[in-house]
Amino acid sequence: MFFYRVALFSSILEPLTYASEISIKIGTVVKVPLQTKTVAGVVWAEVHSPEHDVKNVIEFTNETLMQKQRKFIQFISDYYFCSLGEAAALFTPFEKGREAGKISTEHTEIMLSPKQSEAFVFLSKYPVGLLFGDTGSGKTEIYMKYFEEKLSKGKRSLFLMPEISLTPQMQKRLEAHFGESVVMWHSKLTKKQKEKALEKIRSGEAGIIAGPRSALFLPIDDLGLIVVDEEHDDSYKSSSRPRYHARDMAIYYGKLLDIPVVLGSATPSLSSYVKFPHYRLKGGHFQSERRFEFEAHAEGVTPKIESAIEAVVAQNEQAMLFIPTRANFKYLICSSCGYTYECPFCSVGMSVHRYRRQVRCHYCGYAEAIPQHCPECKTGDLVSSRLGTAEAVEYFHEQRPQWRVAQFDRDKITTQKKLKELLHAFNEHEIDLLVGTQMLSKGHDYHAVTLAVVLGLDNLLSLSDYRARERALSLLLQIAGRSGRKKAARVIVQTFNAEFFSAYVDGYERFLDEEKLFREGMYPPYKKLCRVLFAHKKSETAEAAMRQMETGLRAFKSVEIVGADKAPIEKIAGKYRYQILLRADKSTDLIRALKASKVPLAEIDMDPIEFG
């Protein structure tokens, strides 16, 4: 008999030992019994005969996780403190005994301007390079030139984008140049579409594979390049285990495979700006001007904003309105006693969804009918606070029925089909005003937008987050960048912090150089951070676990405990939450301390981007 440790996909368990009458190659995907079920896992290591009885492997598949994939899995497991099974579940295996076919190298040649050619040559020199290019400066053409070069050498390219909302327009552009050798991969594909895409990837037909962070774990033979577009975007970071950051993992994978990695953004993260050589690509194909105007006003649609939209619609042009909150309103507050109507399971206010006739918690999903009176004082009326996208759309439908207004957020865009239809309608000028959340900022090309209105930046700026300034300014510039592609545009920013924003709207590089001074010696990229979360139905149990781990961590002098207390949002989904925030010079110091001190209730988030 042969004995193997098998890492079970998605399981938090350590690898379990199973027996087999025949020898199995390490990395093979197998089916094994677990209690009353049959589950899949990967053969991780061969072991000696155990002293206890073990069950037999039930089935061998023709799928395998290759050695470099396993090394990648081990790294994710060690660095992000998850099980091997949780890390392995991210990956799609290769098929055994299948040789990748020849890639189609037919494509339309990409022509670059002198500046773009200079950027391309610069990026070709480095294992990791940052393309710091203004919106509309032609970053995509440079990526495509790199894809073209790799295809000519029989190598495939991986093109990561932050969200699937970017894929329709990008797919069109890639296919226009590279035809059938392009494969899009994302969570909204049907089972049949996924099978078809995977077949093209495994057979080798696919020369360019594009998609959000999950595309990083596809079985791509002969990978020669990874491009991470909009590298600053927070959606590259997973909010559940494994809590990996796809940009950082792309850099690790590039090093593992010894292939180049290109990061690109109009507003790069300070971390990438400091760590990697960058090429500054200024200006763009669109020479029109953008004029920034600031209005000191609480979040809402003001007469100035309304008249600006009216002028744009009268000129047969288009406008965009950014609001950070989806739904109707963010909070309900009693007009008599000031009580905020909270979720019964989370310590956060409920959001109003009028079209569903309910209040809903955006943290745990709990919903109930919209209350008529304050449950605290029983008499006061509940009034709305903080405007949401749906409320703004309703307002315009009532006040300006002649305007064609559409909502662009996760409540409305629930499928890839709806996304394609809305973007097509907007670009065909069937919509005058697009009202949306951060989806508006995600790299889409809008041709006739001459007005961008940005609300709610002060809420971002006031967050207790060391990246608050970077996030607020980056968001403003990304949204502003969607306007003024063909004609001069106005950007109206509703803020009480005009002094800050106006100083940097035409100088993001200057902002990064100054921000470095604020962060040095305190925050990333100069320090490593880790957030340890404890959640339990009993507050005292969560706190006791936190205190126990805090005591263990104090033995490690190379790790600083920045704070240990209740989490900013104390309760989510009926569980009380506590957290420890740690800081160190090196991630190895953090990992050593965490491994020695970890308690069962601890949920570890390395390099956190959320502190709420």
* pLDDT 10s digits, 330-389: 667 777 777 778 888 888 778 877 667 788 887 888 888 888 788 888 877 777 656 778
Residue pair 486/448 in contact by the 8 Å Cβ criterion: yes
Q: Right CATH number for 2-67+74-95 from 3.40.50, 2.40.160, 3.40.1440, 1.10.10?
A: 3.40.1440
> Any idea what DSSP says for residue 572?
E
405 has which bridge partners? Answer: 433
Q: Right CATH number for 528-606 from 3.40.50.720, 3.10.50.30, 3.40.50.2300, 3.30.70.600?
A: 3.30.70.600
Examine the pLDDT at 238 and tell me if it is beyond 90. yes
Domain 290-326+388-518: which topology? Rossmann fold (3.40.50)
- The confidence score (pLDDT) of residue 327 equals 44
Q: What is the mean pLDDT of residues 83-96?
A: 96
Query: 88-102, 271-285, 315-329: which has the minimum mean pLDDT?
Result: 315-329
Say whether 520 sits in a helix, a strand or coil. coil
Q: Which of 37, 41, 73 is nearest to 60 (CA)?
A: 41
In which residue ranges of the chain is CATH 3.40.1440 found?
A: 2-67+74-95
Distance CA 341, CA 360 (A): 11
289 CB-near residues (< 8 Å, 6+ apart): 484, 488, 489
Examine the pLDDT at 226 and tell me if it is beyond 70. yes
H helix or E strand, kind and range, residue 598: none
pLDDT band at 286 (very low <50, low <70, confident <90, very high): low
Position of tokens 């440790």? 5
Percent of the chain with pLDDT over 90: 66
- The confidence score (pLDDT) of residue 386 equals 60
> What is the layout of strands, in order, in the sheet containing 37-47?
16-20, 2-8, 37-47, 28-34, 59-64, 94-95
H helix or E strand, kind and range, residue 235: none
Distance CA 412, CA 418 (A): 8
Tokens of 421: 């239809």
- Within 13 A of 434's CA, how many CA atoms are on the CB side? 35
When computed from its CA atoms, the radius of gyration of the chain, rounded to whole angstroms, is: 26
Query: 86-90, 318-322, 463-467: which has the minimum mean pLDDT?
Result: 463-467
Higher pLDDT, 188 or 329: 188
Q: What is the mean pLDDT of residues 207-223?
A: 94
Q: What is the mean pLDDT of the chain?
A: 90
* CA separation, residue 530 to residues 272, 471, 562 (Å): 19, 19, 10
161 CB-near residues (< 8 Å, 6+ apart): 167, 170, 210, 211, 212, 229, 230, 443
Higher pLDDT, 182 or 166: 182
* CA separation, residue 442 to residues 1, 297, 322, 420, 609 (Å): 55, 26, 12, 14, 18
Burial 138-167 (b: 16+ CB within 10 A, else e): bbbbbbbbbbbbbbeeebbbbbbbbbbbbb
**pTM for the model:** 0.89
489-494 and 449-454 strand pairing = parallel
Examine the pLDDT at 162 and tell me if it is beyond 80. yes
Q: 114-281 — its CATH code? A: 3.40.50.300
Residue 607 CA from chain centroid, whole number: 14
In which residue ranges of the chain is CATH 3.30.70.600 found?
A: 528-606
pLDDT band at 288 (very low <50, low <70, confident <90, very high): low
Say whether 145 sits in a helix, a strand or coil. helix
- The confidence score (pLDDT) of residue 187 equals 82
Distance CA 303, CA 301 (A): 7
Phi and psi, residue 200, nearest 5°: -65, -35
- The confidence score (pLDDT) of residue 487 equals 82
Q: Which of 296, 319, 316 is nearest to 306 (CA)?
A: 319
Examine the pLDDT at 328 and tell me if it is beyond 50. no
Tokens of 599: 């308690």
Percent of the chain with pLDDT over 70: 95
Q: Which of 143, 142, 140, 147 is nearest to 105 (CA)?
A: 147
Burial 365-389 (b: 16+ CB within 10 A, else e): ebeeebeeebeeeeebebebebbbb
122 CB-near residues (< 8 Å, 6+ apart): 129, 277, 279
98 CB-near residues (< 8 Å, 6+ apart): 202, 203
Residue pair 358/369 in contact by the 8 Å Cβ criterion: yes
- The confidence score (pLDDT) of residue 481 equals 86
Tokens of 173: 């552009």
